Chains A and B, each alone.
Chain A
Amino acid sequence: MIVQFEDVEKSFPLRDIGGPRQKVLRGLSFYIHEGEILGLVGLNGQGKSTTIKLMLGLIYPEKGTINIFGKEPGNTEIKKKISYLPENPHFFDTLNAIEFLHFVGTLRGLRGNDLRKKIKNMLNIVGLTGNEKKSIRKYSKGMVQRLGLAQAFLGRPEFVILDEPLSGLDPLGRKMAKELILNHKKNGGTVFFTSHILEDIEDMADRILIMNRGRIVKEVQKEELGGRSLESVFVEVIENDKNDSTYS
């Protein structure tokens, strides 16, 4: 098991300083197996990004435990095995794509010719060849997203975390991103991703977690869907959860 969340709770203050707090995660428990693609779906503001931030050690749980590769999140050795693509990424926009990927690659332990080859190959895969010397400041949203995918898969990290990976991409870009994710799994990697587009999750994920009001309300194996669309399952689960007053 790569990731384990057990009974995790997290709240944030409603105001900048002090005041009442709003519970975002309420006893969140789930796990991620090695070599799987796990999709996390949920309405806006239900704790998806908070879950990712906890996984990366950017914020800390108030209750419960989180284990990533058997250790606490935020550990530098563990971070060498992880890559992350944030939602609406903003990279160092005075640099160009090569300089940026070089920085990320060296942090992941890649060096010299091997790194240069991998950068060239990755830029080719994401379709940024020809634009690699342009400053990131001049990139369109879709190009930044492509660059974000390139850094996420550069050097084949064991565990890739993607927050809305297909956002801002054109149809060809979406196809490329899906192939990258599926190929990563083929090569033994693990992917955890969130998306608002349920069809994308259905296409790629082996297992899907439906999140509502700060906890997992349903876990769906891809095979369990049968002929049903994920959308119909999702709507049904969320509607049923609305009527459950336990967590309101």
Chain B
Amino acid sequence: MAEIADLSLARVTKRFGAHVAVDAVDFSAARGAFFSILGPSGCGKTTLMRMIAGFEMPSEGDIAIRGASMAGVPANRRPVNMVFQNLALFPTMTVGENVAYGLDCRGVARGEREARVRRILGRVGLADFIDRRVTQLSGGQRQRVAIARCLVLEPTILLLDEPLGALDLKLREHMKIELKRLQADFNTTFVYITHDQSEALVMSDQVAVMNRGRFEQVGSPRELYRDPASAFVAGFVGDANRWPAEFEAPNRVRLSGGATVAGRRFGPPSAGPATCFVRPESVALAPSAEALSALENRYSGKVVSVLFDGANSTLLVRADAGGFELRATLPQTGALAGVEKGAAVHFGWSAEAARIFAA
């Protein structure tokens, strides 16, 4: 498709003195996409977002929005609006005034302004709150005001800087669904920054995993989960058991405790140190060894502890031989549902499920 991307970055670099915060980042986000940038704190994602918003200027490279270069365009003239981490609602204004602010700055006539403010507040379900002070709202309502305040301006891109960080768990889960719904409703390109992989995976069409100023991998949540391109992505996206190991064969490693694991190698064949990842949910558990005969990797061990968490319950198991421990998802149905600490179990995983990266 020849359509121009809503947002495209070409070798964008930002240096603060000798420190390279963002290192030659390239990417483009298609129109109407929900694009997330996922990374640990300090990886440069906030700097990247501030460059897109126009609060920082790149040291090198170019940012283009719908094909127009943003070099030298100040923040208040970019078709980009941002939902701040702390939301940054104006405490001296009412909900309606907060939403009207941007329109007012653009000189939109009073009648049209009020109609647009009412329409957008209706769409985010806050029509009755127009005259409230923002300090009188709940966390979720404030969130929606912050988003409405941006969307009323019909930006090409909406930036969201970890906006769910301050909310409690229940509300966060709810807001994830709500954000996704809003994005689909408005069909605006969302660029979402987070260190929470679950937020990124649940909501996004595309996720970029960022580490030390670089994009490690850009892909759909499913690709990142199934085919991580680097050891960092394999460890950061989703949950994983991670062991230091040594290559024995191109597709087999020996863990430091002595156990061997057949797996899938990413990257060119290599010798020497490696890292092996196995997701807790790919570990099969069984009371007897026969049930696991189809799997390439089979072990037996003892349950060290049961970490009960409903559907997310896991077992901590220590292998009888090979000197390693792992976490395995415990299904709440089946033979092992009631397993107790100290019980003997058999466990294993397919070679497909074990990912090996040269370290």
* A and B part of one assembly: no
Interface residues of B (CB under 8 A from A): none
